[in-house]
A and B are shown apart, each in its own frame.
Chain A
Amino acid sequence: ETGVTQSPTHLIKTRGQQVTLRCSSQSGHNTVSWYQQALGQGPQFIFQYYREEENGRGNFPPRFSGLQFPNYSSELNVNALELDDSALYLCASSWGTGELFFGEGSRLTVL
């Protein structure tokens, strides 16, 4: 148990829809990172939030957006879903640049 909780654990959407994934960071952690893990692949960095501001972004289009709240929890929003967005979305929290602790992920299936 890392103390990082994600919801929902599984969800199914159709192409063109929008999805919001949520993450509660471990107590005391002020930084949240999001990763996308396609089946059989390693995780890919989407973006990171530190003190409610985006602090770095990977090679993902603008329809991937996020938020961090004052309690350091975070949301990942994906608009105009595509089939290739089907993946496990992992949230990781940390204190500054310390060790990342990953949640169990939200598995998104786009039909």
Chain B
Amino acid sequence: GQQLNQSPQSMFIQEGEDVSMNCTSSSIFNTWLWYKQDPGEGPVLLIALYKAGELTSNGRLTAQFGITRKDSFLNISASIPSDVGIYFCAGDGEGAQKLVFGQGTRLTINP
């Protein structure tokens, strides 16, 4: 089946640093999504990408849909303590939100 490879698996950074994480797949996806999950919570949508090559920002977050439709990255600028959590990429290849998720990137921030 479809799989997403997300890297890195974990990151330990200082507050104020920029963060970059990415997601690759052997399959083409029509939509790429980035979610954040805090402990004890469900995933929350950060950014949705619908078109190959699309670059979208949401505050300090920027994400891009790769032109091959097989990859995406998420950047966080000037990290703050509330950015701590697990970030998931997800692809929707079949439509109707049958999402395939990556394994997550755990972000830890040292104050």
**How many B residues face the partner with a CB closer than 8 A?**
23
Closest to B103 in A: A42
Tell me whether B42 and A58 are in contact (CB under 8 A): no
A58 to chain B, nearest CB (A): 7
Q: Which of A1-33 contact B (CB under 8 A)?
A: 2, 4, 31, 33
B8 to chain A, nearest CB (A): 14
Complex contacts, A31 vs chain B, CB 8 Å? 97
Which residues of B line the A interface, CB within 8 A?
Answer: 1, 4, 6, 40-45, 48, 88, 90, 94-104
Tell me whether A45 and B98 are in contact (CB under 8 A): yes
Tell me whether A58 and B98 are in contact (CB under 8 A): yes
Complex contacts, A99 vs chain B, CB 8 Å? 45, 48
- Can you give 13 A-B contacts (C-beta < 8 A)? A31-B97, A33-B97, A35-B101, A42-B6, A42-B88, A42-B102, A44-B101, A56-B96, A97-B95, A97-B96, A97-B97, A100-B97, A103-B42
Tell me whether B1 and A43 are in contact (CB under 8 A): no
Given contacts A59-B1, A99-B48, contact A43 B98 (CB under 8 A): no
